[in-house]
Amino acid sequence: MPVTDKQPLHTAISQKLKQQIEAGQYPPGDRLPSEFDLGELFGVSRTTIRRAVANLIHQGIVTTQQGKGTFVSDRQKISFSMSNPLMRFDLALQQQGYTAHIKSLRFERVQPPPEVARKLQLPDPTSKVYQQEKIIYADDSPIALELDYFPDTILPELADQLREGFTYSVLAANGVQLNAAKVSLESIPTTHELSQYLEAPLGMPLLVFSYVTYQCNRQPVVCGKTLSRSDWTCYTSEFEIDNVE
């Protein structure tokens, strides 16, 4: 079944496969035909098929299992609310039926980059901060990498708890009251290092949620970013608009 279209072959093929999946030809959990069989079906090379399947992986429509093949995704994306930027990842995961846990990769006192020093409003440019990197898991699947910076005013008293727990839950449990935040959302491609941490295909879009959170006195408590797999996660928001005459 050759594909003829002005758009690139791999794009046309991925769109055709997506339509077949949405029509139920390949139900959730089903294995797609092999690269060889798809190449025969569409009359193209295996390289073209690989690029077409990569498009579907980046959209979260299919996943690959090493040595087993490509399978139609059978899960709904995990959603996090943009309406509450002080969201607690562990609670959001639990509410959506997942067991949440982390793996701490790095926790140390460092000289902060200038941008971090500015966000944390450090009075002395030579001041050091605590940096943490951790992987967030939904059940046994790594879905996000979190990078946080904390000023000395927060640590080292909470260091051990933050190594083992989720940032906002640890802060809340220790009476750190957060009431404001600045956030932004963007996308970057998965690098080689990130692909290893998150078990994601190289080049897959990652959702980057950046933040600075504050106490009631507008004192910064933590700044950082969460890089989450776009095939696993999404960010949502609800709001109302008053009628304007």
pLDDT in tens, 88-136: 889 889 988 899 999 999 999 999 999 999 999 998 878 899 999 999 9
pLDDT at 134: 96
Q: Is the pLDDT of residue 1 over 50?
A: no
Mean pLDDT of the chain: 86
Give the amino acid at 183: V
Give the helix/strand (H/E) hosting 53.
Answer: helix 46-58
Task: Give the right CATH number for 78-236 from 3.40.50.300, 1.10.10.60, 2.170.120.30, 3.40.1410.10.
Answer: 3.40.1410.10
What mean pLDDT do residues 140-147 have? 93
Q: Is the pLDDT of residue 147 over 90?
A: yes
pLDDT at 21: 86
- pLDDT digits over 167-216, tens only? 999 988 988 888 889 999 999 999 999 999 998 878 888 999 999 999 88
Top-tier CATH class for 9-72: mainly alpha
Distance (Å) of CA 228 to CA 63, 91, 140: 16, 16, 15
Per-domain residue ranges for the chain? 9-72, 78-236
What mean pLDDT do residues 140-164 have? 86
Percent helix / strand / coil, the chain, rounded to 5: 30, 30, 40
pLDDT band at 68 (very low <50, low <70, confident <90, very high): confident
pTM score = 0.73
Higher pLDDT, 75 or 29: 29
What mean pLDDT do residues 16-30 have? 87
User: CB-based contacts of 7: which residues, under 8 Å, 6+ apart?
Assistant: none
